[in-house]
Structure 1
Amino acid sequence: MSDRVAWAGGSGGVVLRTVNGGRAWQRVDPPGASALQFRDIHAFDADRAVVLSIGEGTDSRVYRTSDGGRSWQLAFQNAEPKAFYDCLTFFDSRNGIALSDPVDGKFRILSTSDSGRSWSVLPDKGMPPALAKEAAFAASGQCLVSSGRRDAWFATGGGTRSRVFHSDDRGRTWRATESPVAASESAGIFGMAFTGKREGVAVGGDFANATGASTVALTGDGGRTWQAGPSQLGGYRSGIAVRPRSVVAVGPTGSDVSRDGGRSWTRLDGGSFDTVDCTTDGACWASGERGRIARLSYRLP
């Protein structure tokens, strides 16, 4: 949320919260969630947050707190055995969506209009058919992102091609576009970030080959077309955060920064992280394996 307030989720049902810049962390897990993996979290402020757990069937859940994690409401528990929810995003303080891998040949969208208190599955009439083995990756909470009050994008892999889906009506209808990022069972796009409705950057690679080649994809038309960036990253990257004049990408083999919208990159750090987020006041936070949480130690432009 800021240079002082941050939330994090992880395996073992863990949810963490700091209000003093990371000097101390409170463990504020939802009760009875020790078997869950929390892969995405959206905070509205220091007290209100929504957290998504992934998994097949009833393991896909959404919890909500309004008192800093002292108490939690189970807002959604998946009852469809074929569904597997990967990530969520909010357009504003009330409206948000969550993404599931395909059910009966189409990706599934869950929607809320009351700040995550209740959720409903949207009709799939406006969703293009999924490709064979196509899926989203629940790696960083950034396979589904939004910008403004109505635009959202989600990214895929898993099959023979990676694609980016775009909606301009809060998830009711979608248009799919191919990307230059290579895809396979373990490869595709893992994270995206947009500045406004037109400029976007996507990163990914192959999580089974963390040091292998990966492709940065760029769009300047809101995701209608994607091109490979002129400079690529040195390995698989799962998380990305965008600020007006800089982009930060993270993965298990290191972190990189770009100061020209993702066209060229400089190695920033050699540590392992899975996801990253930058706040409006300039703070950037990253988290990763074995409970690693870090705050960027210098201010990006």
Structure 2
Amino acid sequence: MTLHRKLSIAVLALVVAGGTGFTSGAGLSWQLTDTGSTARFRGLAPVSAKVAWAAGSAGTVLRTVDGGRTWASVGPPEAAELQFRDIEAFDARHAVALTIGNGPESRVYSTSDGGASWTETFRNDDPAAFYDCLTFSDRRHGLALSDPVGGKFRILATRDGGRTWQTRPTSGMPDALPGEFAFAASGTCLVSSGRHAWFATGGDATARVFASKDGGWTWSVSDSPVPSGPSAGIYSLAFRGPGQGVAVGGDYAAETSAPDGAAVTRDGGRRWTVSRTAPGEYRSGVAWWGGRTALAVGPTGSDVSWDGGVTWRRFDTGSFDAVACTADGACWASGRDGRIARLRR
């Protein structure tokens, strides 16, 4: 997988340039915050209604502790030429962030003082590896996903909160399809819940979901009904416990048309069913918002599902790449041109 191909995600057609726009009567809208940045934030890690982190282009990491009224730029200076695509935060002081790229451009940084200082805890030394996203099941246990190396996806693991990382053996990983890869679009191509983890793919004729029940040591894989191709497939996953999951995607090269671009599972990813009414356009991020409610975002708008991903309804026309919700019910979205917003209803 070439860096050019991966970074093409960062140059999506700029169809939607404005703010937010309420369109459906669903009672929801995004309230933009003033970040003072022009970076594109594909990495998003809200902790609560007050605390949130975002990571993006040009090595930019922002943090707020007052609900988005003010943002501080806290990224590691040595990463200024790199592209952050994922960040996982545990509180206002502790976070782990991933940069993407071939070889040494894929790195992991960790902070324990709110971004005042960062430690580089992993630098990829394999020119064939390209890391896409991170997930943490708790404050100590985390995984990172690389595109296939030697015909198999590669898993990196930590047991100490991201301070050290080990490459997992690939003996428990099914073979990748020719041309199959994951999308570094919103930091949610890899997700976890307890000992369970999942990652989604595209690039070949079939978009697939890989699942692990043992913390990422062994994996099974299932086909999905989401269309796949050179720039199409599943871009984002969200699971509510080990059973109920939602997948969204499409084709970033044809972002206004994504038939069958969303699917649901109730058995942990073994079987997937196309949503009865999908968003209909490319979506790069999805998140659960308590109960059976889910949110999906993309460059052409945002959608809500009140029934666990079976049906979707547009509620906003602004451009976002990532969405995440917190335990206290706060939902955040982030994207290009420094856009970070809070959900209002």
The verdict on a shared fold, with TM-score over 0.5 as the criterion, is yes
Q: Distance in 2 between matches of 1:263 and 1:208?
A: 25
- Which residue is equivalent to 2:19? none
How far the C-alpha of 1:196 sits from its partner, in A, is: 0.7
- Which residue is equivalent to 2:254? 209
The count of aligned residue pairs is: 297
- Which residue is equivalent to 2:234? 189
Partner SS state of residue 296, structure 1? strand
Counterpart pick for 1:247 among 294, 314, 328: 294
Say if 2:323 and 2:333, in contact at 8 Å, map to a contact too. Answer: yes
Note if 1:256 corresponds to 2:303: yes
Partner SS state of residue 24, structure 1? coil
> Which is further off, 152-161 or 225-234?
225-234
- Which residue is equivalent to 1:50? 96
Counterpart pick for 1:278 among 321, 325, 329: 325
- Which residue is equivalent to 1:72? 118
- Tell me the percent identity: 62
> Which is further off, 259-268 or 95-104?
259-268
Alpha-carbon displacement from aligned partner over 1:243-280 (angstroms, at most 9, x marks no partner): 22310000000000011001111111100000000001
Q: Distance in 2 between matches of 1:115 and 1:196?
A: 21
**Greater relative contact order structure (CA < 8 Å, 6+ sep):** 2
Q: Distance in 1 between matches of 2:324 and 2:317?
A: 18
How far the C-alpha of 1:234 sits from its partner, in A, is: 2.3
Counterpart residue identity of residue 174, structure 1: W
Counterpart residue identity of residue 61, structure 1: R
Partner SS state of residue 180, structure 1? coil
Say if 2:263 and 2:310, in contact at 8 Å, map to a contact too. Answer: no
How far the C-alpha of 1:31 sits from its partner, in A, is: 2.1
- Which residue is equivalent to 2:10? none
Partner SS state of residue 58, structure 1? helix
- Which residue is equivalent to 2:149? 103
Counterpart residue identity of residue 244, structure 2: E
Say if 2:191 and 2:237, in contact at 8 Å, map to a contact too. Answer: yes
- Which residue is equivalent to 1:17? 63
Q: Distance in 2 between matches of 1:267 and 1:176?
A: 31
Alpha-carbon displacement from aligned partner over 1:67-97 (angstroms, at most 9, x marks no partner): 0000000000000000000001011110110
What do you get for the CA RMSD once the two structures are aligned? 0.7
Q: Distance in 2 between matches of 1:120 and 1:37?
A: 22
Note if 1:134 corresponds to 2:180: yes
- Which residue is equivalent to 1:154? 199
Counterpart residue identity of residue 79, structure 2: A
- Which residue is equivalent to 1:39? 85
Partner SS state of residue 104, structure 2? helix
Note if 1:172 corresponds to 2:217: yes
Q: Distance in 1 between matches of 2:258 and 2:283?
A: 10
- Which residue is equivalent to 2:274? 228
Alpha-carbon displacement from aligned partner over 1:131-178 (angstroms, at most 9, x marks no partner): 000000000000000012x00000000111110000011111000100
Alpha-carbon displacement from aligned partner over 1:96-153 (angstroms, at most 9, x marks no partner): 10000000000000000000000010000000000000000000000000012x0000
- Which residue is equivalent to 2:129? 83
Partner SS state of residue 291, structure 1? coil
Partner SS state of residue 58, structure 2? helix
Q: Distance in 2 between matches of 1:212 and 1:120?
A: 40
Partner SS state of residue 217, structure 2? coil
Partner SS state of residue 210, structure 2? strand
- Which residue is equivalent to 1:288? 335
How far the C-alpha of 1:229 sits from its partner, in A, is: 1.2
Normalised to the residue count of structure 2, the TM-score between the two structures is 0.85
Note if 1:199 corresponds to 2:244: yes
Q: Post-superposition, which runs of at least 4 consecutive aligned residues in structure 1 deviate over 3 A?
A: none
Q: Give unpaired runs (5+ residues) of structure 2.
A: 1-46
> Which is further off, 62-71 or 238-247?
238-247
Counterpart residue identity of residue 99, structure 1: L
- Which residue is equivalent to 1:4? 50
Alpha-carbon displacement from aligned partner over 1:167-219 (angstroms, at most 9, x marks no partner): 01111100010000011110000001011110000000000011012421110
- Which residue is equivalent to 2:158? 112
